[in-house]
Structures are given as structure tokens and as C-alpha cells.
Amino acid sequence: NEWRSRKKVEIIQYVMLKWGFALIIGLGTGLVGFFNSFAVENIAGFKLLMTTSLMSQHRYVEAFLAYAGVNICLAAAAAALCAFIAPAAAGSGIPEVKAYLNGVDAHQILSPSTLFVKIFGSILGVSAGFVVGKEGPMVHTGACIASLLGQGGSRKYHLTCPWLRFFKNDRDRRDMITCGAAAGVAAAFRAPVGGVLFALEEAASWWRSSLLWRTFFTTAVVAIVIRVAIQFCATGKCGLFGEGGLIMYDVSSSNITYSVNDILVVLLLGAIAGILGSIYNYLVDKVVRTYSVINERGAAFKIFLVVSIALLTSCCFYFLPWITNCSPCPSGSTMSCPSLDESGEYKSFQCPPGYYNDLASLFLNTNDDAIRNLFSPRIVKEFHISSLFIYFATIYFLGIITYGIAIPSGLFIPVILAGAGYGRLFGRLVESMTNLDRGLFALLGAASFLGGTMRMTVSLCVILLELTNDLLLLPLVMLVLLVSKTVADCFNKGVYDQILKIKGLPYLEAHAEPYMKNLVTRDVVSGPLITFSGIEKVGNILHALNGTRHNGFPVIDEPPFSDAPELCGLVLRSHLLVLLKEKIFSRDRGFADKSILQTISSLDFGKPGSGKGIKLEDLDIKVEEMDMYVDLHPITNASPYTVVETMSLAKAAILFRQHGLRHMCVVPKSQGRPPVVGILTRHDFMPEHVLALYPDIKPHKWQ
Amino acid sequence: NEWRSRKKVEIIQYVMLKWGFALIIGLGTGLVGFFNSFAVENIAGFKLLMTTSLMSQHRYVEAFLAYAGVNICLAAAAAALCAFIAPAAAGSGIPEVKAYLNGVDAHQILSPSTLFVKIFGSILGVSAGFVVGKEGPMVHTGACIASLLGQGGSRKYHLTCPWLRFFKNDRDRRDMITCGAAAGVAAAFRAPVGGVLFALEEAASWWRSSLLWRTFFTTAVVAIVIRVAIQFCATGKCGLFGEGGLIMYDVSSSNITYSVNDILVVLLLGAIAGILGSIYNYLVDKVVRTYSVINERGAAFKIFLVVSIALLTSCCFYFLPWITNCSPCPSGSTMSCPSLDESGEYKSFQCPPGYYNDLASLFLNTNDDAIRNLFSPRIVKEFHISSLFIYFATIYFLGIITYGIAIPSGLFIPVILAGAGYGRLFGRLVESMTNLDRGLFALLGAASFLGGTMRMTVSLCVILLELTNDLLLLPLVMLVLLVSKTVADCFNKGVYDQILKIKGLPYLEAHAEPYMKNLVTRDVVSGPLITFSGIEKVGNILHALNGTRHNGFPVIDEPPFSDAPELCGLVLRSHLLVLLKEKIFSRDRGFADKSILQTISSLDFGKPGSGKGIKLEDLDIKVEEMDMYVDLHPITNASPYTVVETMSLAKAAILFRQHGLRHMCVVPKSQGRPPVVGILTRHDFMPEHVLALYPDIKPHKWQ
């Protein structure tokens, strides 16, 4: 609609701007990702150095107090940020971004305060030693940056730019937020291609090939920013940051061979991981529901919960290594043992000189270093079966009870940690049956656990590839992903879908429910239909806006303006409000004249940022104006999507979702009736609504 | 429609079968891919060994005759297969698969004879030393295997299975062919993830997340098949096959660093490659148009053309190395120099002992080994600037004049060869300005050339990653792909789109043309509309089927069967033919009774394989039957996609393409008119048709 009236120079400006924004999103997200790693590795690194140095002086109580104290302070700070500034920043953020890209405009999800808390809360939370990651928060951060750019800055903080009005529509904003989500994964895992695929497979509900290219560009920018930052830091200017290089957990294995026997073992690994993954999802679901009851009671409860979990985590991490026996240092190692630096390949802990504590090198470490330890091949490092079991059980348990507390918390790292522990443990248990390396088992375990909880395929595969540089292992990774996802899908849904459901966000599934094939669109149209004439009385419009919460109204031209009543189009509540606010009225019932049209075309009908549109209460319509007329044609969308009333509901639902619609007009199939018989919105396609109307239908599982 | 009536056990059977087919597609394509590599490496290897051994005895004329003779025989055999058995097997096959997945059912594209010729023609063609690859043919092969499975075998060769009737619809068949295309890339490049992305980015026009998972499964099967085959052949059981392992051109570089200067050089490389790539596309277009005139004259002309190009290629490859000077063998090399085996890192050619001919190691080699040589790092191998220039110019030229001759010919390998030559040459020319390795330049050159001709992004990136195992180079590869694609897109379209256009296939673009925003659906509805009543006379139907070539007809219920004329649905020509053939008629105008309904439900309304449906001439309707009635309701699709006549044409085009439709009903926006005003088909959305109706519209480029 808008597009037709644009000049060529404006189109060029639009295209340039879109690419420019993709560049800025990439730069911004890349820098935030770098800053995040930099801050976490320095804060957590110094904390661990302090603890280790106190322990080496045998001041064990002080070491614990320092360790737990720092953790609790960091945790409390993160919780306070979340509780007081932006409650929407708690949790992963991926479900919210997913819902936004599905068309759900939830409140405050992408506001500047959320962005701020997400960045700093994530740094504090990860540094505090929680079993949480930064990738979910990074995805959310990328989406927030994109959203702020897309709405031309924040009106609340007086950072707006009227020049950016081109992007005030759903489609452009979703495109940019998709780029932001991809950039987030790219920055968190240093995995640019994985980011694109994540956005495609998990985040986005609509996809076009031009979008593929734009996300690719954004993540390429992220990759280059991070590459430059790593090269800059290689000289030691960034404190403890810089380990891992571009590939975070490089395992680049030598040439591996495997037999049919090995493949059978790997299949078993995948199947068990699928079961463990679905149990994980089930328990996370229960825990989040419990926590949300606690969190609703107020900020103090939120902070208390966070601090309790922080204390529990600190206790587990500090005291569990005491259980295990000390291992003698390997003789031929190139690394010093016990190690002196913060990454701690061989933590001394309570052990005498020449010995190290294998469990401490997992627990008293950053998450990244723990993963590196688990992925390391057998010749470099060996773990006791008991250590691995303790580690796996603890992380599995802590991962479940940590998600849902009021801090920004990603789910990838906990799942990778638990999966790597599980895989390495599994590898030790079956070592008589296979000669695959245990480091590879740890990697396969991580892959299968991710498959069992997240239920993604290609994107996980590429992310793992970019994380570990293990191209030769690709066939096995694909295999375990397939097995674990298949097994886990028999029991429940992916963890993000579950969280979406807990949050009550009306997410439209990609496929229609089977029973929808037996219904037609007419069957679910509900409520009285409110339509406007092409030229309508102000009073009627006000009355309608007051009386309903609908956001779209069909406009119908009637005689004398047409031969018969005919569908003119659809008008949006927000556009009506602009017209009413500006008082574009006329005394007589007729088409608006030229001068009024020009006034209208200069108004801002762009989609406002979150919750900043005109409210009904802002209007000040006088009584004498109530009888005046408004010409709705200039603001009517003349080609709304329509379906015939006998269209199968399943088909209509797929059409609705695939085109990212907000309203769909239902037209009659026969003559002699009004030209529109109803309006369908997102709500009408939700299974809850349909099943409430037809309680006899039994939803069954097979699609 | 069909779905509603299925029982649960049938649905389970359907799901199992779909996965089973994906498994078989993966196995089949994987085995063909292995067989192809095995045959090519042995045939071409023995040819090269023979030539080399004759040359080492200084029998140069005999060597040339042997070399050229073998090439010409192989080429003639490939051309004869193509010319006499399956002309549709010539060329890459990717454009045809792309068109099929867009909804174009071109004749013979996926028949068993095409499959046969594609497999053996590709082996012969690649062995004959042409500058062609196997990846396009492998994609086509995968698609053919999928199609044959999907239509339940070939009726012509009496290999049908009635049990497979579930898959006789467009959607399922397209899903399987998408899997086949992905499997083809996975088998050709040993790149499973790249295959999935290729299918997503380039091949498929419609995409669902469940399809992502199924293609992923298929390519995982391919990867495992190839992995097993390589492990089997590692013991030397497969002759000369087995080099390269799972990663075809392993360059796994050491840690590379680059400065801003290097990045600028790489940007220049990408920009020039973009220009060269678009020139390549332009010239391929011209050459293919010229060749198609020659090829149309008959089989003899086709074979003559192929043999001429084979002779030219042999002459170039054999005589050009004589120009170059001999290089002394490197002292510290681990490989024997001059080399004795067929892969020929250091070809002796005409050089004295202790020297080698660098150009011969590119020309007198298989394409795969030439690429390996070009990608090898500087310390291993050095090429003269003049050698690289000769090589690049020759391959660029031969690649252009080879595509279009009547053999199965992939485009990836020629482009990679030319690109690698270009990149290495570029690297030598700028060696004073950068310290990036020349092997890396060759890789970046290949990436940028691919970007400049194919215009893909993510899939190329992943395919190159899987081909070369160079994760650290990923940011630079992404950068050159972006630059070269952007530059090349300014001039013309991707090479596959061009070939689609030359072949005259009505491909629907993903985005609508800008001028379509100014038109509505009513504007392009053309021709008289033919509708049927719900219960229609046999004579009328026959007359209508005879009189038009439409494939879909709206069915309209009229009084007394409804209150007012109303749209009942859409009926397909193929379904009408089944009904007429089975003579499901009745004497009186009324609804069909139960017994007839049962007869109908047992009939085969599935989409037939290519060109095997019932023809109008097959019908044998007697004169007295012409006045009988047919109840069309049981075969009517009751929820066709509809648009209102004032819907913007651009929106309708996107809807049509996104849902993979074949027909779309246009309904009136006002009362008092027939319930359908027209039918839109693929043809109505083609720019040629629209521009013919409205010659005043000037198509312009900005989208």
C-alpha cells in the first residue's frame, strides 16, 4: 500500500538502510558478545584464582567463604537488576524472541531496559558460577538491538530518529529481529553459519531467501568483529580473556575409524540421551511452574530464590570434589600439574603435590573450561567413573533447578555440560565394547543431549561443528542427533516450546492440528462482527472502538457509493486512532478531498514501538464532532487476505501462519449475504479456543 | 480431503513409509555417489597412468594419441547415451529439479531412462577429461531415485507397487525429491549438511521444518554410506579410489592471522571474481543458446559437437604444458618427485629427471587432484604466474564452451577449478601486499567464483567448509561470498536461473515483480471461465474437456441443490477423466448413492507418474451416455484457495507460490454476481503474460 507511492530514490534509501541496519546489528551484537566473554572470563577467572590461591595455603574455610561470598554477591546483583529494572529479562529469551517472530507482541520483551539488564545480568549470572549459559541472553540481546534500531530508537529515552520511519511495519521489524537472533548465536558460540541456521530452524516462523542472505551478512559481520577482537586480545591486553580462539572447544581429532560395533554403541548413547533429555524437559517444566508462583510474590522473593540457588551451587561445587580421590599427575604432560593458572586443567585442590583432583577441574572452573576438559582426549586427561557420575548428576540436577530463577539464563551450556558429562561417563562404562575415544563420547553425549532437549537438527549440527572443529565426526553427530530427537519427541515437546506454553504466549504451530481438517473457517468465527462503512460517522467508530478490543475492522462500501454492498478492505484500530486524534472529519458524507488526503499521507501510520501507540483515552472528541463523517478509504488496506467460509480450518491456519497475518476476512460462498461473514485472528486458531467451541473433538497425536 | 478418511493404522503406515523412503533415497544416492567416484577414479586414473608411462618413454605422439583417443571414445559413448536414450539427461539437472520443485512438471525429467543415462553418462563424461563435474548430475540422480520411489516404481518397466499409493500427490512427491536433491549434493561432495542447505537455499521452493528434519536424515544416511565405503576401500580393494577420505580437499590450515590489509586484498579478490562470474554466466548463456540450435538438428550433430569439444579439451590439456618451463623438484618434499602414481603431485612430463612440469600437474590430472594441487599451501607447492594464468584462462574458456553439449555436466567443479586458478594467480600477483598463503587464496578464489556464478550463500559456505575443513577461514569465506554475489547480482542472474529461462520453464520467482503491486487479480484473469454444476451432464463435461486445456474447473452448486448459486469447490481434469473412464453415471440428476461412493473411493485418484495419466482419447463414451449425469461432489476439492478479485496481484502471486498451488479461484467482492469470476494458474502470474496484457507497464529492477 505504502510502497506504491514511493519514489525510486526512497526505495534506494530503503534498501541501503536495511543493509546498513544489518551491519549495525552485526557490529553491535559482536561487540556485546566480545564484552560479555571478556567480562565473564575476567570476573570468574579472578574469583577462581583467589579461591585456588587460598586453598594452596590450606585456608579452606576462608576459600569457601570467598568463593561463596563472591558468587552470592554477583547473583544478588543480577537478581536485583532483573527484579527491579526489567523482569522480562529473566530466563533464556529465546522463547520470547520466537514468539515475537511468530507475531506475538508481548509487553516489554524488546525494550531498552530489557536490553540493559540482559547484557549485565547475563555477565553477572554466568560469573556467579550458576549452571547457566550466555547464548539465550545473547540471542535476546541481538533481538533487542535490532528492535531498537527498527523502531528508530526509544521514544522513552528521547532517542528517536524520524528518518527511520520506513521500518515501522511488522515485516521489516521481524526481518531485523531475525537478523538479531542469528547474530546472537553467532556471537555467543562464535558460530556464524550456525547462527543463520538457528534463526532459520528455531527462531523464525516466516522465511524468505532474501532473509537468508541478510542474516548471513549479519553473522559474517559478527564473525569478523569477534575475529578482530580475538586477534587484538592475543597480545594479552584483555586480562584473562582470549582462550579458545575462534573455535571455542577445539577437539580437531585425528583420523578416527569406527566399526559397526561402535555405531551400535553410539545409537544406544543417543537413545538414552533422548530419554534423559525428555525427563530434563519435564522437570524443567515443573520447576519453572513452581518458581513462577514464588517469583510472583515480589522482588524480595525473587532475590531470595536466586541467592539460595547460588548458595546451593557454591556448596555443591566446593564440597563435592572432597569426595573424590586424588589422581597422580600424568608424567608426559606439557601442562604444569597441578596447574597454576585460572583455567585449571589439573586443579590441586586438597591434594598433595604431584597429585590433582579431577572433579575440581570440572567444578571449580568456568563452564567453558569444564567443557574443554570433558572434550579432551583420553591421552591428555582421564576421569574416574565416580567423578564423572557425581559431576553429571550434579549438573543435571542444578541445571533443572536453576532455570526459572530471576536471572538471564541460557540453556545451551547447562545441556552441553550435562551431556558432555553423560557422554564421557557412558564412554567409560562401555570402554570394553568400543575403542572410540572418550573425548569423542563426551562430544557425542553433548550433541545427543542437545537433540533430546532442544529438538533442533541442522542448526545444532553446524553449531557443534563450529564449536569443536570436528568435521570427521559429523556422520556420528548427525546420527545421535536423529536418534535422541526421535526418542525424545515420543514423550514431550522441545524445551523452548514448553516455556512458551508456560508463559501463555499464543504461539501458532507450523502445522495445523489434525482435527482442524474436519472444521471449516465458518465454524470458529465467533462474536458479533463489527463493520464500518467506507464513510462512517465518528460516533459509530468511537462506539465500536470502545465496545470491543478488536484490532481490525472490515470496511464495506454500500450504496450509493457502490452498486451493491462490497468488501472494500480492512482498517486497523491504530490507524483509526491516528485519524480520530488528528480530527480528519468532514460535515457531509462524501469522499475526502485532495487537501485532506495530503494531510493524511503526512501522518505517521507506522507501527509504534512496544506499547507506545495512541490510546483511546488520549482522544478528545467533542459532542458536535460525533455526528461528523470520516472517509476511511485512504487508510483502508484494500487487499486483505480472505478465505471462503467453507475453507478447511487447517488450510486457513497454515495460510495465516505462513504469511504472518494478524487478520483474515471470511467471505461467504453464496450470494445474497453480507460480503464479509467474519474476521479470524490468531486467537481463533489456538487449539484452546477451537476445543472450547467443540468439546467433543478428541485431539490425537498423529499428524 | 483424503486424509480425513484415513484410519490410524494407515497414518502410522504412511509415516513409517515416508521415513523408509528417506532411508532408501539416502542409501541409493550414497551408493551411486560411491560407484561414480569409484568408476571415475579408476577409468581416469588408468588413462592418466597410461599416458604418463608412454611419456616417460619419450613416446610423445603415441601418448597424445592414447590420451585423446580414450577421451574421444568416452565422450562419444556419453553423447550417444544422451542422444539416443534420454536427451533430458544432458546438462546439469539442477535447473530441472529446481523447476520441478517449483511446480513445473516437465516431460521426462525424472524418468528411469534419464536416471540410467545420468549415472553412466556422468561417469563417462567426467572420465573423458571434460571440464565438467558430477554434482549437478548427482542432484538429478538423487531426484530421479526419489521420484521413482514416490510414484511406486516405473509402470513402463513393470516395476510398480500398488502399496505405495499414499504418495501419489504433489506434496509428498516434492518432499521426497527435495530429499533426493539434498542427498545428491551430500553424495557428490561428501557434504551432508551442505546438501540440506543446498536443498533449502537453491532447490526447494517450499519448505517446512519437518522437511528440514527429513532431508537431514537422508543426508545423514548418505554420509554413513560413504563413510563405510571409504573405510572399506582404505584397504586398497577399490583400485585407485579412496583418496581424500571423507574430506575431499583437506586444507586444514594452521592458525592463520590476517590484518586489515589482508582483508582489503580479499575484498578486491571478491569484487573481481564477481565481475568474472557474471561474465561467465553471460557467456554460458550465449553458448547454450548457440548449442541448442546445433543440438536440435539431430543425434549426429550432438555427438559431433561432443567429440569436437573432447578433441579441443584433449589438445589444450596435452599441448599447453609444453609452453611452461620445468621447475626443479623441491628438496625437502616427502612425496617422490617426479611422481610415479596417477595423482601426480609432480608430473615429470617432458622434463629431465629432478625437474617437474607444474602446469602438467594441473592439466594432466583428474579434476579433483587439480583442485587439491591448487589448494595446497605454498611450502608444499609453487606455481609460476604464467602457468597459473594459462591454466585459469583455459579452464575459464573450456568451462564456458563445455556446458550445453549433450552430456551430463555439473557446473560446480568447472567453477571451483577456474576460481581456484584465479585465486592462486591473484595471490601471486599481490604477494607483496599480503602474507596470506596462496593455497588460502586459491580457496577464497573458488569461493568467490562460486558466489559470482551460483549466487548462493549459506549452502556454498557450508559445502566449502565440508570440502576443505578450514573452519578458521570461515569469516573470510563469508566475506568474499558476500562481495562477489553482491557485485555479480548487479549485472545478471545466477547461472541456474539463466538456464531455467533458456529452457523456457515457467518458474515462479519467490518475490513478485514490483509492477504487480499496482494490479489486482481481476486484471489478469483471462479467457472464458468454464464451470460445472455440482451434478453435471456427461456431455457438457466431455465438451469442456475437449474444448480447453484447463486442468481445474470450479464446481458451482445451483438451485435446487442450494438456496443461491454457491462455490462448491474445484475439480481436476485428471479426476474427471477417472470418473468418466469408470463411467460412474446415473440417469437422473441427483446425489450419488452409497454404493457409487464406495466405488469412487476405491479408485485411483493419485497423481500419475510423468505422462502416464488417462488421456481424453482413451475414453469411450457412448452417445446415450452423453445425456446422463455425474455427481461431482465426491471428487471436488471443497476448500480450494480463493482470493477476492481486488486482491493485489503481488500478494496473490506470493500466496500462489508459497503454498505451491496449481489453481486459485477468484471470487467477487460484491453481491449479485456469479460466485467465481475466474481461475488463476501459474501461467497468469508469469511476467510475460502480465506484460503482454499491460504493455504500458515498465518493469524496473528495484525490488
Mean pLDDT of B98-105: 88
**Chain B residues within 8 A of A669 when measuring between CB atoms:** 566-567, 675
Question: Across the interface, do B474 and A193 touch by the CB < 8 Å criterion?
Answer: yes
SS3 string of B206-248? CCCHHHHHHHHHHHHHHHHHHHHHHHHHCCCCCCCCCCCCCCC
Distance, in angstroms, between A647 CA and closest chain B CA? Answer: 4
Domain boundary among B638, B667, B686: B638
Taking the C-alpha atoms of residue B239 and residue A274, their distance in angstroms, rounded to an integer, is 42
pLDDT per residue as tens digits for the range B351-366: 888 788 888 888 988 8
Residues A51 and A185 in one domain: yes
pLDDT per residue as tens digits for the range B636-695: 888 889 888 888 899 899 889 888 888 999 988 877 778 888 899 888 888 888 888 888
**Residue A4 — very low, low, confident or very high, per pLDDT cuts 50/70/90?**
very low
Residues B633 and B651 in one domain: no
Q: What pLDDT is attached to residue A1?
A: 40
Residues A616 and A682 in one domain: no
Mean pLDDT of A310-326: 91
Class of residue A525 by CB neighbours under 10 A (exposed 0-12, middle 13-18, buried 19+): middle
Scanning every residue of chain A, which has its alpha carbon at the shortest distance from the alpha carbon of B652?
A641
Mean pLDDT of B474-493: 91
Q: What pLDDT is attached to residue B674?
A: 82
Contact B472, A252 (CB under 8 A): no
Distance, in angstroms, between A40 CA and closest chain B CA? Answer: 24
Residues B615 and B659 in one domain: no
B87 C-beta neighbours (distance < 10 Å), count: 17
Residue A72 belongs to a domain: yes
**Residue A326 — very low, low, confident or very high, per pLDDT cuts 50/70/90?**
confident
Residue B343 belongs to a domain: yes
Q: What pLDDT is attached to residue B588?
A: 78
Scanning every residue of chain A, which has its alpha carbon at the shortest distance from the alpha carbon of B664?
A643
Taking the C-alpha atoms of residue A457 and residue A482, their distance in angstroms, rounded to an integer, is 7
Q: Does pLDDT of B1 surpass 60?
A: no
Domain boundary among B590, B617, B638: B638
Residue in the block written with cell 537488576:
A81
Distance, in angstroms, between A551 CA and closest chain B CA? Answer: 21
The helix/strand/coil state of B428 is helix
CA angle centred on B695, ends B693 and B696, rounded to 5°: 125
pLDDT per residue as tens digits for the range A60-72: 999 999 999 999 9
| Top-confidence residue, A11 or B299 | B299
| Top-confidence residue, A214 or A351 | A214
Question: Across the interface, do A471 and B246 touch by the CB < 8 Å criterion?
Answer: yes
Q: What pLDDT is attached to residue B227?
A: 84
Q: Does pLDDT of B207 surpass 50?
A: yes
| Top-confidence residue, B445 or A438 | B445
pLDDT per residue as tens digits for the range B142-165: 999 998 887 765 555 555 555 555
Q: What pLDDT is attached to residue A587?
A: 79
Residues A489 and A615 in one domain: no
Residue B390 belongs to a domain: yes
**Residue A215 — very low, low, confident or very high, per pLDDT cuts 50/70/90?**
very high
| Top-confidence residue, A45 or A253 | A45
Question: Across the interface, do B252 and A252 touch by the CB < 8 Å criterion?
Answer: yes
Q: Does pLDDT of A159 surpass 60?
A: no
Optimal mutation site among B4, B11, B200, B639, interface A, most CBs of chain A within 10 A? B639
Residue A338 belongs to a domain: no
Scanning every residue of chain B, which has its alpha carbon at the shortest distance from the alpha carbon of A11?
B702
Question: Across the interface, do B667 and A644 touch by the CB < 8 Å criterion?
Answer: yes
Q: What pLDDT is attached to residue A335?
A: 65
**Residue B701 — very low, low, confident or very high, per pLDDT cuts 50/70/90?**
very low
Q: Does pLDDT of A565 surpass 90?
A: no
Residues A584 and A687 in one domain: no
Range of the domain at B285: 260-502
The helix/strand/coil state of A250 is coil
Residues B680 and B633 in one domain: no
Question: Across the interface, do B3 and A565 touch by the CB < 8 Å criterion?
Answer: no
Distance, in angstroms, between B592 CA and closest chain A CA? Answer: 21
Residues A173 and A304 in one domain: no
Considering only CB atoms, B564 lies closest to which of A510, A517, A670, namely A670
Out of A279-288, B152-161, B522-531, give the one with best mean pLDDT.
A279-288
Residue in the block written with cell 581456484:
B420
> What residues does B408 pair with on adjacent strands?
B91
Q: What pLDDT is attached to residue A168?
A: 67
**Residue A97 — very low, low, confident or very high, per pLDDT cuts 50/70/90?**
very high
Q: What pLDDT is attached to residue A256?
A: 73
Mean residue pLDDT across chain B: 85
Q: Give me the number of domains chain B comprises.
A: 3
Q: Does pLDDT of B446 surpass 90?
A: yes
Mean pLDDT of B315-337: 81
Q: Does pLDDT of A2 surpass 50?
A: no
**Residue B702 — very low, low, confident or very high, per pLDDT cuts 50/70/90?**
very low
CATH number at residue B517: 3.90.1280
Mean residue pLDDT across chain A: 85
The helix/strand/coil state of A206 is coil
Q: Does pLDDT of A517 surpass 50?
A: yes
- Percentage above 70 pLDDT, chain A: 90
Residue B702 belongs to a domain: yes
Q: What pLDDT is attached to residue A166?
A: 59
Q: What pLDDT is attached to residue A179?
A: 95
Residue B392 belongs to a domain: yes
**Residue B611 — very low, low, confident or very high, per pLDDT cuts 50/70/90?**
low
Question: Across the interface, do B639 and A655 touch by the CB < 8 Å criterion?
Answer: no
Residues A145 and A24 in one domain: yes
> What residues does B93 pair with on adjacent strands?
none
Question: Across the interface, do B644 and A210 touch by the CB < 8 Å criterion?
Answer: no
Q: Where are the alpha helices (DSSP H) in B57-157?
A: 60-80, 94-102, 112-127, 135-150
Q: Which region among A193-197, A339-343, A685-689, B206-210 has the lowest average model confidence (pLDDT)?
A: A339-343
Residues 6+ apart with CB under 8 A from B522: B645, B646, B666, B677, B678
Taking the C-alpha atoms of residue B340 and residue B320, their distance in angstroms, rounded to an integer, is 21
CATH number at residue A119: 1.10.3080.10
Distance, in angstroms, between A363 CA and closest chain B CA? Answer: 30
Taking the C-alpha atoms of residue B30 and residue A113, their distance in angstroms, rounded to an integer, is 52
Residues A176 and A88 in one domain: yes
Mean pLDDT of A517-521: 87
Q: What pLDDT is attached to residue A559?
A: 80
Mean pLDDT of B85-105: 90
Residues B324 and B436 in one domain: yes
Residues A448 and A571 in one domain: no
Q: Where are the alpha helices (DSSP H) in B510-647?
A: 521-524, 538-547, 573-582, 594-601
Residue A205 belongs to a domain: yes
Q: Does pLDDT of A8 surpass 50?
A: yes
Domain boundary among B465, B487, B502: B502
Q: Which region among A38-47, A154-163, A575-584, B500-509 has the lowest average model confidence (pLDDT)?
A: A154-163
CA distances to A533, A646, B670 from A565, in Å: 9, 21, 6
Residue A352 belongs to a domain: no
